[in-house]
Amino acid sequence: MLVVVDSFLVQAKAAPYAAVVMDARNGKILHSRSADRILHPASLTKMMTLYVVFEAVENGEISLDSRVKISKRAASEPPSKLYLQAGSRVRLRYLIRGAAVRSANDASTALAEAIEGSLEAFTDRMNRTAKLMGMHNTHFKNANGLTQKGHYSTARDMTILGRHIVYDYPDYYNLFSRKYTDVGGRTIYNTNRRFLTNYSGADGIKTGYTEAAGFNLVASARRDHIRIITTVFGGKSTTTRNNQVAKLMDIGFARAENNVKLVKPKVPPYGKYILNGKVLAELSSPTLRPEMLDGNPEAEDQDKLSEEIFASLDQNTDTEIIELGGASDPLSVDGREWDSFLPEPRPRGLTILEGTGILTKNSGVVVGTYYSKSLANSKARRLEFMVPSELFSAKKILLDNGHGIVLKYVGMDEKSAEKVCRILEARQAECQVIYIR
């Protein structure tokens, strides 16, 4: 059978089938078939890649705004990919989106090199993390899931990993539910968008395909208080795989008990990697490689900020790949009242990308007061995943009001500010629209 995968016509061969259905609330297996059979995970691998990246960001090893230099190795990865240009610098958040939504192999390798300096060191960390999660029949050799000797997993292990992503990093998990997103001015579409669209309650998580693996999917869906995670390996096509996952999801919701206490999985320890009393590895103080450091943006020649990051596109090299929100060093306005604050004008020479706002807009949002600057910045990182397009076009402000650090975003239009608060309030997060005169 001929099928199209990422615009490439390939011959789909029969791959071994395996499946697991889990009640995510307590990890109980509701259905399984060949759950522990060693198989090719394909791009389900990227779930672990992204899990390690989320861990690194949350623990201060790297910033979402760090500009990652794309290596020749990353740029040369086969499709599916973003077609990143070797030597270009791309913000970490764009690489995360590319790996999670588009299942981009070049973005995944670039993330691995950004976090650990080399793909080999990163896969070591992936394997340590897998052991700590109880993924007993998994071993990684790369960060993207391309077929390689010694790179394998099981339906059970990938279901365990999916559950950890849902509960360990809930603020990042929503990324997997996006049917499309922006990467450096380009719109990319989710490889899982058909299932997300067609199955009621579906909110993630990750597809995978290689000739050796067949069509794989780890899917999660929530209805009321019940969440089911279903994994299928070895589908014959996207359609048959999605149909099978939907059937198994229905089985899961039918078998799941109503009154089940939520028991979240234990988050793997950060710092010392200890398993059965044995220290597997110990992280030193988080450091960034010299080429990862942004330096002082104000001291840079603005012309040097222009970069062509996509090798396959005829891009205007005068277009700036910039983000106005989420700056690593937020603007300090201690002691100044909001009604006297005037947003700074755009730096000379910058071109605002489509979808971003202009800093002279006179609305904003207040999203909480925190004990410290570090806590406020940590909250900001999570918020920028939840409502990225609006917050990226704004200016982040930390204000010490004498009672704590107030986190605000300004330079938004009224409609965008109201949308941010609607989204955050739906997620039980604090938000208040403000108007700057």
pLDDT tens per residue, range 372-416: 787 888 778 777 766 656 776 678 888 887 777 888 888 888 888
Average pLDDT score over residue span 235-249: 95
Please check whether residue 40 is in contact with residue 147, taking contact to mean a CB–CB distance below 8 angstroms: yes
Q: Which of 46, 206, 361, 379 is catalytic?
A: 46
Please check whether residue 275 is in contact with residue 132, taking contact to mean a CB–CB distance below 8 angstroms: yes
Cβ neighbours of residue 147 under 8 Å, at least 6 residues apart?
A: 40, 42, 210, 211, 212, 213
Q: Pairing state of beta strands 180-183 and 89-91?
A: unpaired
User: Above 90 in pLDDT, residue 107?
Assistant: yes
**How many helices (H) and strands (E) are present in the chain, helices listed first?**
12, 18
Range of 225-239, 287-301, 365-379 with top mean pLDDT: 225-239
Strand partners, 276: none
Range of 181-185, 240-244, 375-379 with top mean pLDDT: 240-244
Annotation says 46 is catalytic: yes
Confidence band of 305 (pLDDT split at 50, 70, 90): very low
Mean pLDDT of the chain: 78
pLDDT digits (tens, 9 = 90+) for 19-48: 999 999 999 999 999 999 999 999 999 999
User: Above 70 in pLDDT, residue 323?
Assistant: no
Q: Do domains 2-255 and 323-435 have the same CATH topology?
A: no
Q: Which of 63, 80, 103, 220 is catalytic?
A: 103
Please check whether residue 364 is in contact with residue 153, taking contact to mean a CB–CB distance below 8 angstroms: no
Confidence band of 329 (pLDDT split at 50, 70, 90): very low
Q: Note the CATH number of domain 323-435.
A: 3.30.70
pLDDT of the residue at 423: 80
Average pLDDT score over residue span 197-211: 94
Global confidence as pTM = 0.68
User: Above 80 in pLDDT, residue 151?
Assistant: yes
Among 42, 108, 97, 122, smallest CA distance to 75 is for 108
pLDDT of the residue at 269: 86
Q: How far apart are CA 41 and CA 108, in angstroms?
A: 15
User: Above 50 in pLDDT, residue 242?
Assistant: yes
Strand partners, 405: 370, 400
> Is the N-terminal amide bond of 34 cis, ω within 30° of 0?
no
2-255: what CATH class?
alpha beta
**Choice among 164-168, 244-248, 292-296, 401-405 with the minimum mean pLDDT:** 292-296
**Domain map of the chain by residue range?**
2-255, 323-435
pLDDT of the residue at 265: 96
User: H or E segment at 378?
Assistant: helix 373-386
Confidence band of 433 (pLDDT split at 50, 70, 90): confident
Annotation says 32 is catalytic: no
Average pLDDT score over residue span 282-291: 44
Among 102, 202, 176, smallest CA distance to 144 is for 102
